[in-house]
Structure 1
Amino acid sequence: MITKFYQHILALAFAVKVINENPNILPNVTLGFHIYDSYYDARITYRNALNLLFKMHRFAPNYKCDSQKNLIAIIGGLSSDTSFHLADTLSLYKIPQLAYGSFPQEESDIDRLLSFYRMVPNEAHQYMAIISLLQHFGWTWVGLFVTDDEGGEKLLQALEHLFYQHGICSAFTQRMEKAAHSDMLIELYDILESYYVGLTNDKANAFIVYGDSQTLTWLRTVIFLRDPGNKESTSFRKVWIMTTQIDFVLLSYQKVWGLELFQGAISFTIHSKELLKFNEFLQIIKPYWNPADGFLKDFWEQAFDCKFPDQLMQDTETCTGEEKLECLPGHLFEMGMTGHSYSIYNAVFVVAHALHAIYSYRSKHRAGDKRFELQDLQPWQLHYFLQGTLFNNSAGETMSFNDKREMGGGFDIRNMITFPNKSFLQMKVGRVDPYTLEGEAFVIHEDLLVWHRGFNEVIPLSLCNDHCHPGNQKKKKEGEKFCCYGCAPCTEGEISNQDG
């Protein structure tokens, strides 16, 4: 279990609680929810999708032997694999699915998966945001770490074109497995050196990392195996540029390693805002706050490294139940609402507003004295009202889908600040909003940025070679990328009066 993602569950529970207590949304109606874990396994994802459609205890697809659950919509998933595996099944039944993860989507999927909605902007906007960041700091020689999957290939294809257009080159490209498993340790040693060639590149100081929620755990494992004493890793002077799916998480066995390696990292994250009373809600969470929560006990034991008395083991601390979430380091749990949690919260409200709209419409246009009941609603009937969604959430932000069933909102830019006690802070230092005025789509506040300690508070360079001084001109190096060049004195009759 990745303890940090337990906040996603709490964001869902909090949203449902707020709606059920609000007399202005679905009065006299109580929303409920059921949570399934995909375990990052396609087969389990398919099974869970069918369990949602059919009776839990009798697995009989294509048969309606028992009464169906009153399933209205599904929120999920975080990864592209989970989301599209779900969509393959749910689209057959036209059940609305609201995905909250950021990942590439083909135009053909938009036309094929008509029940699929995105609570985040199109990932193509993130590609341009990366270019804007590199241009802002003049970083033209960058390393790439990408997952060895379809999403990673799409990013490479997109960046190759954009890099060429904007005078940027890749110093190296390292493809990574999606997750680290114990049975891959022998294979790990075979690729350690290739990783370190990139990590120790003295010219490429900016690294772009693209992957999913498990990528950082894999990368941190590889680095640990090469440098178990953590002596070299903390001295790496690099700027890690993390894409939206990357989260600063560590598994329970990794937490002693810390994240000092990523001091000064710049992350693109799903846009979020702090919500009134969410922090208060987190503070009341205790191990037995809700007996129906099947995840909380495991989360509590892993996060606080303790065991409850009913399964106490030798040499382990006893969970008292009085432990506090706010005392956990950020790689295990964050008190501030993350972008993915914010998207889940908004997804619940989108569904609730659509239900409220259809309930109001049907009640107003009902035939005779027959009362319209939401229990009679079929999921496919919700689509018209989802596509017409328009309201302001409790943070004052407008919620609506575009014609591709994608939510706007842009991305936040955050800066990683680590502390000696292995905790960290992700400070918001900028914003990417492709839907705003020209010239304001990319904003970053340099004065707020904290760089890796090795840069001595000086903005890092990431160039193949130094700029040519005035009086010199660029000279192409045979066999090298165009970002790498020599400098030669200007010929007679030519003038160069600037660095370049």
Structure 2
Amino acid sequence: MRFALEEVNRRYDLLPNITMGFQVYDTCAALRKEMVATLQMLAGQTEAIPNYSCQKTSRLAAVLGHSLSMTSIHMAHMLGLYRFPQISHYSTSSALSDRTQFPSFFRTVPSDSFQSQGLAQLVLHFGWNWVGLIATGNDNGIQGIQVIKQEILKAGACVAFTEFIQSNLLDKNIPFLTKVIKNSSARVVVIFSNDLFFALLLDEMIKQNVTGKTFVASETWSTSTILLADKYSTLLAGSIGFAFHSSTIPGFRQYLTSVRPSTLENNLSKAFWERMFGCKFNDTKNVSGSWNGPTKICTGNEDLQGVENVYTDVSSLRSSYNIYTSVQVIAKALHDLYECEEGRGPFYRRSCASIKHFKPWQLRHYLQNVHVQLSNGREVLFDRNGDLPAVYDIVNWQLGLDGVMKQIKVGSYDITAGDGNFFTINIGAVKWATGTSQVPISVCRQSCPPGFRKAAREGEPVCCSQCVPCPQGAISNETDSVECLECSWDTWPNSQKDKCLPKTTEFLSYEEPLGTTLTATSAMSSTIPISILGLFIHYKNTPIVRANNYSLSCLLLVSISLCFLSSLNFIGSPQVEKCLIRQVAFGMVFALCISCILAKTVMVVFAFMATKPDSSLRKWTNARVSYVIVLICSLVQFILCMLWISISPPFPEKNIITQPGIILLECNEGSPTAFWCMLGYLGLLSTISFVVAFLARRLPDSFNEAKFITFSMLAFLSVWVSYIPASVSTRGQYVVAMEVFAILSSSWALVLCMFAPKCFIIIFRPNMNSREHLLAKDKS
């Protein structure tokens, strides 16, 4: 303070021809003396006289102090009655920001409310979402820790415990607090307490062998020298927290080293000198109280330049810099009051205040609006609550190779940062208890990786939630996602469920082995009926061909060949035209095929029933009857198919429901009812043919034609009856493959059961292909 005042008084651009002085009141930390001293300052007398002021030779401009928040509150209540400016360099209680109760209180140190918010953000900055909170049980501690807790919970993190150290040095609750810390799974603990009370807790932690905890420090102990004791080193190594912003004051070290006992003239300065240089003044008795070595006479001119200790170390001034700032602020406010031009002033009728006769409330106005730029470039201006913008240093407690604990500045916290990034931390400079730069982990559970979401556990804090895999079709691409995101209809999660990939499309392709096999089988199979047809044409005049209705047999062979070829419509990418005709073509050619078989069966029955003399059924054995049966049966199927196409035609679609993760390119049948009616009609024709052939199986037919029809229809029906449950239980391209297989199997059943025996006789048993053999068989 003396240095700052002398610096102001030497300047010509600040309060010219006006000298600033000071008066010090040492109250010995006694509240009663502090109140008395406050009244003495207001009265300007050696006695405390309320509501009386006698300041003749000099004017009291402002009061600097107190350092303790509780004392500042009592002083501010008294000084506020008179709107007398009060500036504290160390009182951090957030209660002092209440302008209603403390209208003239200012401070050059940040409020605890800023610190509490900053400590919470520091915890969140390092990703700690499961922390413990310890604070002193006074108003400052309770208010400060509640703000920290609110900010942590608001950000989605959790508090493992909140405990308080009672405000006395005989706190019997310390062992219990230590057990809470030891048994908690939280590895990070915020300590909002001063160093004396925290030391009690550390002593008990040493007794109970508590390890593996990282402490977050409030400014009240982050730069403590008491806690630098070796016994605390293993516990406090790696601690990190806030400290008052540090800076240097140009010329201050030279000023300190130029001090001589003669300039101070008090017993404390002589005691300091004797301890510093290990000497003794002639006119004093061992005032230092601790020097027992050889007596050396102090001259008072010893040089402090070569001394290196806490007194001469001005590299990181904190509270001292706040005092320096307070003096600069008052000087600038007085200068602004001094330079006021009448008629342009801030008071009634634009008046100004006189520098010799100003009122306390008038200086308070200038203090509220002061704007000072300090030597380090920092701008100082108060907000409406008398607080400065919060700027803190972030300090890290590091254990050196020599075993000595050091408090290293590793960053800063500045709420005036324009980009909103309040933290500036050199992560590489931070060392944790492990001696590395790896940030310790303090979570109730490990983070949920991408592909999972957080789900609350009943009866536990939200931070202790469990990780649940994202459901089918959803992803999470961030750590600790609260919910999973659904993929779009044409995308699907990858195996890690952290990104959506385009779905694969699937259909029965010609290029795939299954599609290639079915295509080749269909094409080759279609040649078999044509070959048999050629054989029948070549042997059309032989008894076996003529006896089996040559014309119907040729039509049946052509229709079977078309049945084989109709399966090709089901292979390949579904197109509009292909979807429209494939089931219709399948239904029509099979209807034609079964109609031919039905006609053959009916004609066999009519032929034997007409052998009786004067039978009226002889006229039904004409070949035209068989053609009418084929035409009528095929026409009914044709009408069903035309109605289907007209009302609800099949169309290609992308099926994303049947197989998750795959887009099935398939033909939607349009009307399932129409499809099953078409298939059911085929079943009806087949059943009629089967029943009629079965009833006629014992007729003396040549080469057992009725029996062959019975076997062929039995095989045909067996294939399609089996197809129904198989198609229902199959998915994707295999549904189409199943239908193709059913077409091929049923077609082969007709070829083998009806034509294989005849071909065998024609080719390998020509002696049986004769009229004599036919008649002999008939006779037998």
1:197 aligns with 2:179: yes
Kindly state the Cα deviation for residue 249 of structure 1 after the two structures are TM-superposed.
2.8
Partner of 1:51: 40
Which amino acid in 2 is paired with 1:271?
H
State the secondary structure of the residue aligned to 1:86: helix
Where does residue 248 of structure 1 map in the other structure?
Answer: 223
Residue segments in structure 2 that go unaligned for 5+ positions in a row: 346-352, 481-780
TM-score (normalizing by structure 2) = 0.52
The 8 Å contact of residues 26 and 352 in structure 1, kept in 2 or not, is answered as: yes
SS in 2 for 1:200: helix
Residues 148 and 286 of structure 1: CA distance in aligned 2, closer, same or farther (over 3 Å): farther
What is the aligned partner in structure 2 of residue 77 from structure 1?
A: 66
- Equivalent position of 1:463 in the other structure: 443
1:21 paired with 2:10, answer: yes
- Give me the whole-angstrom Cα distance separating, in 2, the residues matched to 1:120 and 1:312: 33
Matched, 1:207 2:207: no
The amino acid across from 1:143 in the alignment is G
Which entry has the higher C-alpha Rg, 1 or 2?
A: 2
Q: Which residue of 2 aligns with 1:149?
A: 138
Going from structure 1 to structure 2, the CA distance change for 1:56 and 1:488 (only over 3 Å counts) comes to same
The answer (yes or no) to whether the contact 2:191–2:215 under 8 Å persists in 1 is: yes
Aligned with residue 403 of structure 1, among 384, 392, 408: 384
How far the C-alpha of 1:413 sits from its partner, in A, is: 1.9
1:115-126 to 2 correspondences below 5 Å: 115-126=104-115
How does 1:373-412 map onto structure 2 within 5 Å? Answer: 374-408=355-389, 410-412=391-393
Superposed CA offset, 1:345-400 (max 9, x none): 1110111112222223379999xxxxx98454443331232223123212222222
1:127 aligns to 2:101 (yes or no) = no
Pairwise CA distance, 1:461: 0.7
Give yes or no for contact 1:148–1:176 (8 Å, CA) kept in 2.
Answer: yes
Number of matched pairs: 465
SS at match of 1:146: strand
Once the two structures are superposed, residues 294-334 of structure 1 have per-residue CA deviations (whole angstroms, 9 ceiling, x without a partner) of: 755677789999998434658856897869696446xx995
How far apart are the structure 1 equivalents of 2:381 and 2:36?
Answer: 31
1:360 is the counterpart of 2:336: no
* Stretch deviating more after TM superposition (125-134 or 161-170): 125-134
Structure 1 residue 345 corresponds to structure 2 residue 303: no
Answer whether contact 1:16 1:32 (CA < 8 A) is retained.
yes
Q: Which residue of 2 aligns with 1:9?
A: none
SS in 2 for 1:267: strand
Q: Which residue of 1 aligns with 2:416?
A: 435
Per-residue Cα deviation, 1:60-115 (whole angstroms, up to 9, x for no partner):
43456896863110112233212211101111222111122353434982133221
**Paired amino acid for 1:379:** P
| Structure 1 stretches lacking a partner, 5+ long | 1-11, 367-371
The CA deviation string for residues 103-132 of structure 1, in whole angstroms up to 9 with x for no partner, is 343498213322111323454333332232
Aligned to 2:240: 266
Aligned amino acid, residue 286 of structure 2: D
- Tell me if 1:480 matches 2:460: yes
Q: Which amino acid aligns with 1:432?
A: Y
Secondary structure of 1:310 counterpart:
coil
The 1:314/1:414 distance shift into structure 2, 3 A limit, reads closer
RMSD: 3.9
Question: Within the alignment, does 1:450 sit opposite 2:414 as a pair?
Answer: no
Matched, 1:109 2:98: yes
Counterpart in the other structure of 1:280: 254
Partner AA of 2:76 in structure 1? A
Q: Which residue of the partner structure matches residue 286 of structure 2?
A: 310
Shift in Å, 1:163:
2.0
User: Is the Cα–Cα contact under 8 Å of residues 269 and 411 in structure 1 kept in the other structure?
Assistant: yes
Higher mean Cα deviation, 143-152 or 62-71?
A: 62-71
Structure 1 distance, partners of 2:435, 2:184, is: 13
Larger CA deviation: 115-124 vs 417-426: 417-426
Q: Secondary structure at the match of 2:396?
A: strand
Q: Distance in 2 between matches of 1:156 and 1:275?
A: 33
Equivalents in 2 of 1:314, 1:435: separation in Å? 48
In structure 2, the partner of 1:3 is none
Structure 1 pair 315/51, CA: closer, same or farther in 2 (3 Å)?
Answer: same
Contact between 2:188 and 2:215, CA under 8 Å: does it hold in 1? Answer: yes
Q: How far did 1:148 drift?
A: 0.8
Judging by fraction of residues, say which structure has more helix.
2
Q: 1:446 Cα deviation (Å)? A: 0.9
On the 8 A contact 1:74/1:97 being kept in 2, the answer is yes
- Structure 1 residues 491 and 162, CA gap change in structure 2 (3 angstroms): same
SS in 1 for 2:18: coil
Q: Distance in 1 between matches of 2:400 and 2:63?
A: 39
